[in-house]
Amino acid sequence: MTLVQMPVPDAATLAHRDEIIAGLGRILPKSRMVVDERGLKPWESDALTAYAQLPLVVVLPETTEEVSRILAFCHAHDVKVVPRGAGTSLSGGALPLADGVLMSMMRFNRILDIDFANRAVVAQPGVTNLGLTRAVEHRGFYYAPDPSSQLACSIGGNVAENSGGVHSLKYGLTTNNVLGLEMVLMTGEVVRLGGKHLDSDGYDLLALMTGSEGLLAVITEVTVRILKAPETARAVLVAFSSSDNAADAVADIIAAGIIPGGMEMMDHPAINAAEDFVHVGYPRDAEALLIVELDGPPVEVDDLIARVEAIVKARGAVDCRISTSDAERLAFWAGRKAAFPAVGRISPDYLCMDGTIPRKAISEVLRRMRELSADYGLRVANVFHAGDGNLHPLILYDANKPGELERAEAFGADILRLCVAVGGVLTGEHGVGVEKRDLMGTMFNEVDLAHQMRVKCAFDAKQLLNPGKMFPELHRCAELGRMRVHAGQLRFPDLPRF
């Protein structure tokens, strides 16, 4: 596809480029720096491939000390830094800057400690999500959050975006499974939060860091919780002739007090794309497909499956298959796990959106999405975490056709506005990045955004760390510190000033 090129660095930046490279060269060997244009090309975009920008330089540190020295140098010389994990971001969160250093963390790729007694793993941020499970599965353990990109995405990036997955309904997002972090501030200061212990005193800075999108610090070590694999897991594959019925079944299952290990939904275009790709026997004539996984002791799973079966049949299910082996359960999931690449086979390009809504609004939002699809003249395939209300509409377009990318982006923006309008939020697990940055005003007012930016300023007063992401309009930290006087009185004079 044709990538949209971002602005090139100005003359002043280029004039200082050699000085910046020379300074970084005193910290890293040349073999771990990329400076030539050809070498920089692979780093010009992340998985949000509609936009591309060559960074000023790429650095590949291997130790926390190197990260600290690089950030301290950049802070002293007012050089912007963009942290990058595996580059699988779907919101442009790792998009480089023309006048900034791109710091790749993929050489931080070792598991440092496996502690089965405390059910914890300490890993460097470049370890892949699936790599965590692979390291502990021989003892019957696993790491619960499982994004569809788990084969490639890194745990550091998962923390930055608070990633989820098909099993997050029952076992939580990344924030619910991170126990500790080592991180480096923009000044070069190394900070540790949490650890293997169950709880920490003071403010919950771990939660603040999880989902902070690389705006507050660079993560150099992650301690995660691992879980014992459930004794039994079985899946129910349910077909519906109406997406409304499928959505109502989702709400009924949760309302009955059943929390599945995972509950995913696919619509007709996604079903057929997945079936063409993996050939697992999905019903091609279904308008909607639910995959409901129940796990736990066998007697509990059997009871829950019977209850789910009764609920979906009451909602008009036209087909209901219950896995009888682990191989069959995995086959049910195979199409869902491969849905994104499968859709990529039926369209030259697609935008993968990410918004979260109340479960009761799924039917309404899917209906409105179909109307928007007709309005914009673009197809949309839906595959999403139904139990969480976390939507992932895939907007199909062809970037080589003039105007289609712009229409796709406008379509996506309308979907996100719709999510907010029905009581939802702009993102569930992909982050804000640059994709949703200019939509933040639909969810937050100026006061909300100013307070969020004050947090950014507390960690990064010069706003050098991943600038241009998340906030639609940057303000100098000093401007945010001004207090407003009304009628000769300073409001809330007893509170500390920023």
**Distance separating the N- and C-terminal Cα atoms of the chain:** 46
Tell me which architecture the domain covering 347-435 has in CATH.
2-Layer Sandwich (3.30)
Q: Mean pLDDT over residues 119-134, rounded?
A: 97
Asked if 404 contacts 395 with a C-beta cutoff of 8 angstroms, the reply is no
**100 pLDDT exceeds 90?**
yes
pLDDT in tens, 222-261: 999 999 999 999 999 999 999 999 999 999 999 999 999 9
What is the structure's pLDDT at 223? 98
Q: Which of 287, 278, 388, 386 is nearest to 333 (CA)?
A: 278
pLDDT in tens, 48-78: 767 889 999 999 999 999 999 999 999 999 9
Residue 18 half-sphere exposure toward CB, CA atoms < 13 A: 2
Tell me which architecture the domain covering 111-228 has in CATH.
2-Layer Sandwich (3.30)
Q: Which of 121-125, 166-170, 300-304 has the lowest mean pLDDT?
A: 166-170
Q: Which of 271, 292, 273 is nearest to 282 (CA)?
A: 271
What is the structure's pLDDT at 8? 60
pLDDT in tens, 304-316: 999 999 999 999 9
What is the structure's pLDDT at 47? 84
What is the structure's pLDDT at 197? 79
What is the structure's pLDDT at 358? 95
Q: Show the DSSP H helices in 279-349 as ranges.
A: 298-314, 326-337, 339-343
CATH, domain 232-341, list 3.40.50.2300, 3.60.15.10, 3.30.70.2190, 3.40.1280.10: 3.30.70.2190
How far lies 40's CA from each of 34, 44, 52, 418, in Å? 6, 7, 11, 38
pLDDT in tens, 189-223: 999 999 987 666 778 999 999 999 999 999 999 99
C-alpha to C-alpha distance for 159 and 86, rounded to whole angstroms:
12
What is the structure's pLDDT at 49? 65
Residue with tokens 């969020």: 452
State the chain's mean pLDDT as an integer.
92
Give the single-character DSSP code of 147: -
Residue 5 half-sphere exposure toward CB, CA atoms < 13 A: 5
The boundaries of every CATH 3.30.70.2190 domain in the chain are 232-341
pLDDT in tens, 403-458: 999 999 999 999 999 999 999 999 999 999 999 999 999 999 999 999 999 999 99
**486 pLDDT exceeds 60?**
no
pLDDT in tens, 315-327: 999 999 999 999 9
DSSP H or E run through 295 = strand 288-296
What is the structure's pLDDT at 481? 59
DSSP H or E run through 103 = strand 100-104
pLDDT band, very low/low/confident/very high, at 7 (cuts 50, 70, 90): low
C-alpha to C-alpha distance for 495 and 482, rounded to whole angstroms:
13
Percent of the chain scoring above 70 in pLDDT: 92
pTM: 0.90
pLDDT band, very low/low/confident/very high, at 9 (cuts 50, 70, 90): low
What is the structure's pLDDT at 480? 72
pLDDT band, very low/low/confident/very high, at 349 (cuts 50, 70, 90): very high
pLDDT in tens, 140-199: 999 999 998 899 999 999 999 999 988 999 999 999 999 999 999 999 999 999 998 766
Topology classification of domain 4-104: 3.30.43
